[in-house]
Amino acid sequence: MTTGVPTFKLNTGAEISSVALGCAAGFTPEDIAHSKSWFLTAAKAGYRTFDTAQIYGTEASLGAAIKESGLPREQVKIVTKLPWHRCEYIERSFNESLTSLGVDYVDVYLLHFPQAISYPTGYDIPTDVETILNGMKILEKPNFNDNWAVLEKLYESGKAKAIGVSNFSIKTLEALAKTAKVTPAVNQVEMSPYCTQNDLVEYCKQKGIQLMAYSPSGHEKVRKDPTIVRLAEKYNISANQLIMAWHVARGVLPVPKSADPERQKQNITLPKLSPEDVAEITGLDKNERIVNKPDENGVLYGWTLEQYGWA
Ligand SMILES: NC(=O)c1ccc[n+]([C@@H]2O[C@H](COP(=O)([O-])OP(=O)(O)OC[C@H]3O[C@@H](n4cnc5c(N)ncnc54)[C@H](OP(=O)(O)O)[C@@H]3O)[C@@H](O)[C@H]2O)c1
């Protein structure tokens, strides 16, 4: 096995490496300041696609790390996302992302969530978690169809080389398709061996939408699953590597986060799994979300699972 992964082709024709570095680093100023160093080790290890978001606060660190790596801009793919509370200010927010990253285009720009939210603070996100979670007002307008029309303009301008969505389901993708002129290039969703979303994988394949898997390992819970442990031993690799290889075998692009240079290398050093092993891992599905799960009322960030189309 050699380090480095094959590429997938987006519906724009662009080639994108089949594993990207997850660039959510934690939210303290120390976490964010520290992130530049592990973005840089990832670039040196061979990562060429980086998944950030305005809400992560890591766009500036990522831009600085890419510059320091010496990699030509055209060899790197940058994915970033519009926060849900910036839907009334999309162009302003997008331009702010470009400035933070220090680039004049991004490779993929995503609607981070289907719902549009407003906070009492307006453009800025509240600083306390309580207001972030409870002070949100779900907007009827603009809705994701309206927001998508603005992303289409960014795409036409060439400043977003591809546009896509995140946390969309078949239900919301179908609703989007009713007004969209451009088919999303990407849908980034939570996906792991415990949340395999087989119908969505099939749907996106048919529509030419590249799925990206976030929180792709399923964290320790899935890494410790006995089937995962046994198959990882069979291939003489770590559980995380096995899971990333499973995503890639399904045509899904995982965005693992690691701040550790050795684990970063592991996550892009992947064997080819046998179809039987891929099927066995897919068979572990429990429709269980590890990160973005609803509260006791079945609500997640102001939307019910039914609204998301996850029920
Ligand atoms: N679109 C969305 O709404 C959304 C939501 C959540 C996340 N995301 C994206 O998904 C990315 C990843 O999410 P995540 O961090 O929850 O998921 P993850 O990559 O599945 O898990 C990260 C955890 O796994 C550990 N790890 C990484 N490689 C490992 C290895 N080879 N062996 C053992 N442990 C390993 C990391 O520790 P070390 O760092 O110490 O290695 C870290 O604790 C984020 O950075 C972000 O880009 C998107």
Task: pLDDT band for 2, please (50, 70, 90 cuts).
Answer: low
Closest C-alpha to ligand 1, atom 17: 215
Q: Are the C-beta atoms of residues 216 and 190 closer than 8 Å to each other?
A: no
Kindly tell me the number of DSSP H helices and DSSP E strands found in the chain: 13, 14
In a domain, 109, yes or no: no
Q: What is the pLDDT of residues 4-46, one digit of tens each?
A: 789 999 999 999 999 999 999 988 999 999 999 999 999 999 9
Rounded distance from Cα 265 to ligand 1 centre (Å): 14
In a domain, 253, yes or no: yes
pLDDT tens profile 59-114: 999 999 999 999 999 999 999 999 999 999 999 999 999 999 999 999 999 999 99
- pLDDT reported for residue 133: 79
**Predicted confidence (pLDDT) per residue in 189-199, tens digit:** 999 999 999 99
Tokens 């389901």 belong to 169
Q: How far is the CA of 158 from the centre of ligand 1 (A)?
A: 30
In a domain, 245, yes or no: yes
Among protein residues, the one with the nearest Cα to ligand 1's atom 33 is: 240
* CB distance 256 to ligand 1 below 6 Å: yes
Q: Please confirm, yes or no, whether 155 is among the known catalytic residues.
A: no
Write down the pLDDT at residue 168.
98
Residue 254 Cα to ligand 1 midpoint, Å, equals 10
Query: 112 a known binding residue?
Result: yes
> 269 is written with which tokens?
């050093």
Mean of pLDDT over the chain = 96
Is 22 close to ligand 1, i.e. is its CB under 6 Å away? yes
Atom 14 of ligand 1: nearest residue by CA position: 215
Task: Look at residue 253 and give its three-state secondary structure.
Answer: strand
Q: Is the distance from the beta carbon of residue 219 to the nearest atom of ligand 1 less than 6 Å? A: yes
Alpha-carbon distance of 200 to 212, in angstroms, equals: 11
Whose alpha carbon is nearest atom 24 of ligand 1? Answer: 219
| pLDDT score at 214 | 98
Averaged pLDDT, 260-271? 98
Question: Would you say 268 and 197 are in contact if contact means Cβ atoms under 8 Å apart?
Answer: no
Could you give the number of structural domains in the chain?
Answer: 1
- Per-residue model confidence as pLDDT tens digits over 48-61: 999 999 999 999 99
- H or E element, residue 264: helix 261-266
Q: Let me know if residue 206 belongs to a domain.
A: no
Non-local CB neighbours of 144 within 8 Å, separated by 6+ positions: 111, 114, 115, 116, 165, 172, 175, 176
Ligand 1 pocket mutation, candidates 84, 111, 113, 215, criterion most atoms within 8 A of CB: 215
Q: Is residue 300 part of a domain?
A: no
Task: Let me know if residue 180 belongs to a domain.
Answer: no
Distance, CA of 120 to CA of 110 (rounded, Å):
24
Catalytic residue among 56, 155, 214, 308, which?
Answer: 56
Within a domain: residue 283? yes
In a domain, 259, yes or no: yes
Structural domain boundaries enclosing 273 = 217-288
User: pLDDT (tens digit, 9 = 90+) per residue, 197-246?
Assistant: 999 999 999 999 999 999 999 999 999 999 999 999 999 999 999 999 99
Residue 4 confidence (pLDDT): 79
